[in-house]
């Protein structure tokens, strides 16, 4: 959905007023699909409609972000528990490459690429579970987190430590140390949240 992408990527910033006629003209479609898209986005929490019918991009709710993060790190740990035996040399090489590209993107200050490589790193873990409902659930949750994470990748300077944490996760997986790998994965997600929280409190 192009409207969701614009919100998630920050093109449409929190508080931006949305008019269905303007959006229809920009997207080259009629107002009906735009209205349907806005309704769906409201249900997903990306926009909010006031009683006077003004529609705006919603602000980022940090309390909700914490709730989402806590669910994601719990479910991703479950994915790793179920899938660690499926992570072979090819998957490990993919994780190493994604982590290397993540580091390069951070150094280049490219938030969109950095977020994409970070997501790709974690996707290898999630897909290793071969648990389709779990994979779909995490995909939906992470879509909601992407907006705050793009902000995080742009504004914060703690990201290289995440690459080191990823390397630690890889080492534990290579040694088939399930409990240590799951703990390192949870630490990676929790540290991401703590860094966002530190920025919020500045």
Let me know whether 111 and 195 are in one domain.
yes
Let me know whether 196 and 177 are in one domain.
yes
Let me know whether 20 and 36 are in one domain.
yes
Look at residue 156 and tell me whether its pLDDT is greater than 70.
no
Let me know whether 106 and 172 are in one domain.
yes
Q: Could you tell me the CATH number of the domain that includes residue 98?
A: 1.20.120.530
Q: Supply the range of the domain harboring residue 83.
A: 62-200
Let me know whether 80 and 178 are in one domain.
yes
Let me know whether 111 and 164 are in one domain.
yes
Let me know whether 75 and 53 are in one domain.
no
Let me know whether 140 and 193 are in one domain.
yes
The answer to whether 181 and 169 are in contact (CB under 8 A) is yes
Helix (H, G, I), strand (E, B) or coil at 81: helix
Let me know whether 96 and 139 are in one domain.
yes
Look at residue 169 and tell me whether its pLDDT is greater than 80.
yes
Q: Give the percent of the chain with pLDDT over 90.
A: 46
pTM: 0.79
């Amino acid at each position: 959905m192009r409207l969701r992408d614009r919100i998630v990527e920050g093109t449409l910033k929190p508080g931006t007023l949305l008019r269905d006629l303007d959006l229809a003209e920009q997207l080259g479609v009629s107002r009906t699909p735009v209205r349907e898209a806005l309704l769906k986005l409201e249900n997903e929490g990306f926009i909010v409609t006031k009683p006077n019918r003004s529609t705006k991009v919603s602000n980022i709710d940090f309390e909700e972000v914490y709730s989402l993060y806590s669910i994601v790190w719990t479910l991703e740990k479950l994915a790793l528990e179920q899938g660690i035996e499926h992570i072979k040399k090819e998957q490990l090489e993919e994780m190493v490459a994604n982590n290397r590209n993540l580091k390069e993107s951070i150094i280049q200050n490219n938030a969109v690429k950095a977020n994409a490589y970070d997501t790709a790193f974690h996707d290898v873990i999630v897909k290793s579970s071969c648990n389709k409902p779990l994979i779909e659930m995490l995909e939906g949750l992470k879509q909601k987190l992407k907006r705050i994470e793009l902000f995080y990748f742009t504004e914060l300077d703690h990201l290289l430590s995440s690459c080191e944490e990823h390397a630690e996760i890889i080492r534990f997986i290579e040694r088939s140390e399930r409990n240590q790998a799951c703990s390192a994965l949870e630490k990676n997600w929790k540290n991401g949240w703590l860094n966002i929280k530190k920025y919020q409190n500045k």
